[in-house]
């Protein structure tokens, strides 16, 4: 999958054990009424991919959706979702948004629902 938007925030890398991770946020303004702040993660050898970009740059992020289950100490199941970026490139000023690879979605309606 991919998403095009403005680079909104970049966080410092952090290491836990032998695992290094860095997070950044893209502002998706493709829906002017409800802009979205989408957080991605870069891991291990990918953490430097964001270094050549500045806040406000329009970028295209290629990513995988990852989910996992964890059972907390109370025995309750908890689910986590992350967007693992693996490629970032400069993008033009065209429309921003998530590309699902499917082009036959109907155009958005004029409803007032935020989702």
Q: Cα-flanking dihedrals φ and ψ of residue 79, to 5°?
A: -120, 135
Please say if the pLDDT value at position 27 is more than 90.
yes
Greater confidence (113 vs 14) lies with 14
If we measure between CA atoms, which residue out of 52, 1, 49, 61 comes closest to residue 25?
Answer: 61
SS3 state of residue 91: coil
* Class in CATH terms, 2-93: mainly beta
The pLDDT > 90 percentage for the chain reads 71
52 falls in which pLDDT band (50, 70, 90)? very high
pTM, rounded to two decimals: 0.75
SS3 state of residue 47: helix
Q: What is the mean pLDDT of residues 28-33?
A: 86
């Amino acid at each position: 999958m991919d998403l095009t938007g403005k680079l909104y925030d970049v966080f410092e890398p952090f290491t836990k054990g032998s695992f290094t991770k860095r997070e950044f946020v893209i502002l998706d303004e493709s829906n002017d009424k409800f802009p979205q702040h989408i957080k991605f993660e870069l891991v291990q050898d990918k953490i430097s991919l964001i270094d050549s970009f500045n806040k406000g740059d329009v970028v295209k992020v290629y990513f995988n959706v990852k989910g996992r289950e964890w059972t907390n100490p109370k025995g309750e199941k908890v689910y986590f979702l992350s967007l693992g970026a693996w490629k970032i490139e400069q993008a033009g000023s065209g429309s921003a948004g998530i590309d699902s690879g499917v082009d036959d979605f109907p155009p958005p309606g004029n409803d007032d629902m935020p989702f």
